[in-house]
Amino acid sequence: MKLLEDRIRRDGTIKAGNVLKVDAFLNHQCDVALFNQMGAEWARLFAERQIDKIVTIEASGIGIACITAQHFGNVPVVFAKKTQSINLDGDQYVSSIYSFTKQREYPVIVAKRFLSPGEHVLLIDDFLANGNALHGLIDICQHAQVTIEGIGIAIEKGFQEGGQKLRAEGYDIKSLAIVKSMDPEQGSIEFEPCE
Ligand code: 5GP
């Protein structure tokens, strides 16, 4: 998606350890008009799919997923929580994720009542790097016996293995920008072609 690639080039910064910082429009300050265009693009790419719900992870996935849901007939958005709290009542699906950016393990939790067997879901997340976050969500979806119709990713880091592995597992992943390489010294980013 050219709009997103241009925005990454303009406002993204490359940090040590292959981290792309996009807090000016995606991870801290949110560009809602851009989210809306991203939602429209996923709606085009997944037009043939039956989507009953969108599933994402807090925190950065929530904004993108909620705007995107408006392009899928206002389907509910369920976000996995990363901490237990007294507000999380009832039975839960729990999985564990290793965080690339925080370099530690954390739980992901979804209340069982928000995912019902037989539902068709679209997974949405901001980044795909090694695929750990998505594997946690996929694990929860498998336990909940919902069908994953597709996976929408804003920015895939194509030089990390997550996308390749998940596609080989048969998941239909549509990334709106795929970073081929980034050079922290030059501040330059190259993208792979997307659909
Ligand atoms: P994975 O689990 O696929 O290795 O990484 C995906 C998760 O790590 C995303 O949900 C995102 O929060 C975070 N992440 C991975 N790489 C980056 C990056 O380069 N920049 C930012 N901002 N987040 C990243």
CATH number at residue 46: 3.40.50.2020
Q: Which domain holds residue 71?
A: 2-192
Query: For the whole model, what pTM was predicted?
Result: 0.96
- Cβ–ligand 1 distance for 132 under 6 Å, the answer yes
pLDDT exceeds 90 at position 86: no
25-48 pLDDT, tens digit each: 999 999 999 999 999 999 999 999
Number of domains in the chain: 1
- Cβ–ligand 1 distance for 129 under 6 Å, the answer yes
89-113 pLDDT, tens digit each: 779 999 999 987 778 899 999 999 9
Write the single-letter amino acid at 46: F
100 CA to centre of ligand 1 in angstroms: 6
155 CA to centre of ligand 1 in angstroms: 9
Cβ-proximal residues to 6 (8 Å cutoff; 6+ apart), any chain: none
